[in-house]
A and B are shown apart, each in its own frame.
Chain A
Amino acid sequence: MALRTLIARNPLRAAAPAASRGLQTFSLPDLSYDYGELEPAISAEIMQLHHQKHHQTYITNYNKALEQLDAAAAKGDASTVVKLQSAIKFNGGGHVNHSIFWKNLAPVRAGGGEPPHGSLHKAIDSNFGSFEALIQKMNAEGAAVQGSGWVWLGLDKEFKRLVVETTGNQASVVVLILHSTPSVSLSSQDPLVTKGASLVPLLGIDVWEHAYYLQYKNVRPDYLKNIWNVINWKYASEVFDKESA
């Protein structure tokens, strides 16, 4: 971990342009803490798998899909361009979401678990009644996500308010997918912006089973209860202040 570069790098921008056409691809962002530093809320084993395997796989597949998209678009191959959309949405969404998630977490020594102060604190009180009420709401909605997804605290820039949203397999749009003709993309890695163009994610909690299963097994509510001990409200406040200016 310590050998990683100190150069500040936005992982959601291109890390390395591909050779010929200037296609931007992506690489795994570093964590600013060691895998074990979020224990006992989240185990080191989970953090390592989640970061090095799951997130890396989203990036690898996203890059592959982007390269295929680039080639297809250059050739004017419309049906391939369309066919790639679900892979791009899923893997790109996975990359976007997890990049935010790592910043949403911090060890206790770095302020993890410390409630927000200042303007975000005020906004939480006025939108939800109290900090505790927000936690309860996010825990309830996170536990209720069927299957895989995320629970978000977002800023609605248009209406200047905070919202709690979930992105996940939505009951009303599930369809049976014939393998040979994938048509509807599933929402389980949809970024928050797919729920509303004016929504900015402040805080996301991954409720896919891979985020907690090795430690909490089927008891997702315990994971949700404990993760607040390592939530990095400093980052959420920074984003809030910047986006509500």
Chain B
Amino acid sequence: MEFSEHIKTANVEDVVLRQPLHPPGRGTLCITGHHLLFSDREEGSCRQVLLLLRNIDAIEKSVENLLTCSGLFSNAGLSQRLSGSSGTITIKCKDLRVLQLDIPGMEECLNIARSIETLSCLDSMLELYPFFYRPSNASLRDQWGLSSLERHYSQMKELHDRWRLSTVNRDFSVCPSYPQAVIVPKSTDDDMLEKVAKFRQGGRFPVLCYYHKKNGMVIMRSSQPLTGANRKRCTEDEQLLQAVIDGSDKGYIIDTRSSQQALQARMTGGGLESKSCYSSWKRLQRQMERGKALQESLIKLVEACGEESNNMDRWLSKLENSKWLSHVQTALSTAGLLAECVERDGHSVLVHGSEGTDSTLLISTLAQLIMDPSCRTLEGFLTLLEREWVQAGHPFQQRCAHSAHSHARLQQESPVFLLLLDCVWQLWRQFPLALGFSEALLLRLATEAYASDYGTFLGNNQQERCALGVKENTHCLFQALLRPRERDCYSNPLYENTELAIWPSVHPQSLQLWRGFFLRWTPQTHHLEEVQEEIRNMVIEWGKLALSSPVST
């Protein structure tokens, strides 16, 4: 298809761009199928701003037919101004940046606005930029992705006794949102798995997601059982779970819904594992907010952060009212509970909510970061995200279609992944030496999940990605983040491996607003970035000396 049919005006001269942290600039604005390009024409500067249209969450336009003397460029362009109409487009990005374009000419302004509106939310995934992005330093034949479940399994020798790799889902027919290979107890054959899949929402039967080497306990995840109102049973499901805790006295099920929610789910065909049928499993209900409520929480928080008010009471009450930090607290403490069950109490745990694609992944990921040092390196963390979010079928396309500024009616949007990154940031704050990656990485991921040059977060699951040929036709973000230059920027200079679990504090006093993300475009945050730079330099300086200097005798 042709993007050009959506572009009536491709170039506008004499546009003024206002963006945070920079003085306003005057220059040329171009719009292409995927980008907004602004080149500064001011004397002595040749600044360019390239904005992925997909990054635009919402725009507001206002046009004026009257003479407006901005006063900002009183010496320049007075004649153009006099000639009449102009318009302003305010662009609100998914990375929370807000830009403003003053465009001479009403028609040009409306044309640009219309192009942005259409091109920023193209429906067809094949039209998205990742399929067109061809950087010079990478080839489409480069390795795609960091690992696969097959490789993960073959590396984990200790699994091989009791666990096997099943390819029952090789054509995605058993569970459309699972990858082709999954790890399950050795004693369950593929026939059983197919039956269990029918008993779990979306076919998401219990699979292994983490094996705790210190005591052999595991974390399993799934979706809710489809017991329904008449409390159906599935012997295969019960057998599968029994096989998980073979040799142990019990296991825990962490259900990310309240008891009431779980019971209510029966009315719509869902349900929970009853005590009578799963006698060796102890259920823990921990309600976590999901879906729309989470999206609304994000919208409220971003709104509070964008407000120019000088009133402390108002700010604190809006911060409280958004409930975002409460969600952070709940996520971290549920993950803490999960890790505690495995590491300290020494039992295996099954995690699920209803669909098993959101809060389930959130807490299983956090628990792994808490317990497993190998997840805390830059590579380890990206591999964890690839396994637990991309391959495990977090529906990125649906969840990250819009962010906090959008006026579009909410559908499946929910900032679960952003909540994960916020929780990881909290961990990073509390254990600044224990994680091998930097805040910059978390910020980059927060941006990429919503709008990206890369194919990694395209689609909702592996099946969709296969159908689109993501692997063949796009580049992989995770690979790109590990190239030497990026690696320097995204690794934590203070990192030192520790084998210990890192238990986060979940007291309200210990949790903070993630200023680096939510207030990213304020000068204060810029000061803090300078500090990170300073720290990096100190460590480099020290490292150089330490390496070059022989110990004096």
Please determine whether chains A and B interact with each other in the same assembly.
no
- B residues at A contact (CB < 8 Å): none
